[in-house]
Chains A and B, each alone.
Chain A
Amino acid sequence: MFESAFCQIVFYIFALLAAGCALGVVISRNPVTSAMNMALCFGFVAAIFFGLGAQFLGIVQLIVYAGAILVLFLFVTMMLDIKAEEKPASRNCWLPSAPALGAVLIGTVFFGLVSNLSLALPGAQDSGCPAKALCSSIGELALSPTAAPAAEAPAAARFGGALPKLDPAAAARALKPGISPEEAAAATSYPDVKLLAQCLYTRYNIAFVILGFALLAGTVGATALARRIRKN
């Protein structure tokens, strides 16, 4: 009980910090500040991935985004002339009213998401909609006469209920099909990386190799583009 409350508090803190750092990327005048905010935001997103049980993706998020991509951004910012950006005459936006436009856009999307997920809007009467699920989880659907509780239960569990728990015994069975039930029940840690690798190197092996070629093409293309072109 204490552990679940702790997880919940940590998730909301990290979510707020991630959203705040994302706002910092958009608002700050200096591109270096933007890049630092972006790195912090990706760190918090990696923490949310850890909370979701996707440890490998969290580590990849930290290494690739907060490591490699941040360094690329900082080097390019260093190569370019950022003094022009800090001049008071040059505005950050292409319109004087652009900050208001951005605030309206973010506010509209957030309000739409929250209201669609928590209120029963007319468009949310479809049983596959998240709003229906949240309504049933807060008990409003039980009051409406047309509600069919049996049909709503899976959707409620999917959107409004708790996420299904990760099971180390199921993971042990998936890794070794012939394992005995006692041995599977004795497994305590959850081997996320092994399971991900088992899927990646069997079913998605060719796609993974193609991704490697795409990265190679990207490297070659970046080198060719950034090379100084000789005139003669």
Chain B
Amino acid sequence: MIPLAHYLILSGLLFSIGLAGIIIRKNILVVFMCLELMLTAANISLVAFSRAQGTAGLPVYDVQILSLFVTGIAAAEVAIGLALIVALFRARKTVESTALNTLKD
């Protein structure tokens, strides 16, 4: 059988790939996709723990509901973030994070 540790390794791997994408990519759209990857990695951890900590043949459903809320909030966040990106593109004609240096100069 698959132990909990392997689910945690998969979750950590997806999370670190998402984090690396957020750090190294310039395109804000791709940065946003990597953010979603990190949220999904957290969801895998939550669901695996809900199975592992379950008692009497039932998983812990509170954890699965937390995961459902994470998904719902992620949907709202993507809607707002993409609207911000569209507004940003209208103002600056670019979606690259290195071009957003108004506060620096």
Contacts and interface: CB of A to CB of B under 8 A. Distances in A.
Interface of A: 4, 7-8, 11, 15, 18-19, 22-23, 25-26, 31, 34-35, 38, 41-42, 45, 48-49, 52-54, 56-57, 60-61, 64-65, 68-69, 72-73, 76-77, 79-81, 84-85, 90-95, 98-99, 101-103, 105-106, 109-110, 113-114, 117, 130, 133-134, 137, 158-167, 169-171, 174, 195-196, 198-200, 203-204, 207, 211, 214-215, 217-219, 221-223, 225-226, 228
Interface string B53-97: 111111101101101110111111111101111110110011111
Given A19-B14, A166-B51, A170-B57, 9 more contacts: A49-B47, A52-B7, A64-B74, A79-B89, A117-B8, A163-B4, A165-B57, A203-B62, A225-B87
B71 A65 contact: yes
A196 B3 contact: no
B3 to A, nearest CB: 5
Interface of B: 1-10, 12-21, 23-27, 29-30, 32-34, 36-37, 40, 43-44, 47-48, 50-59, 61-62, 64-65, 67-69, 71-80, 82-87, 89-90, 93-98
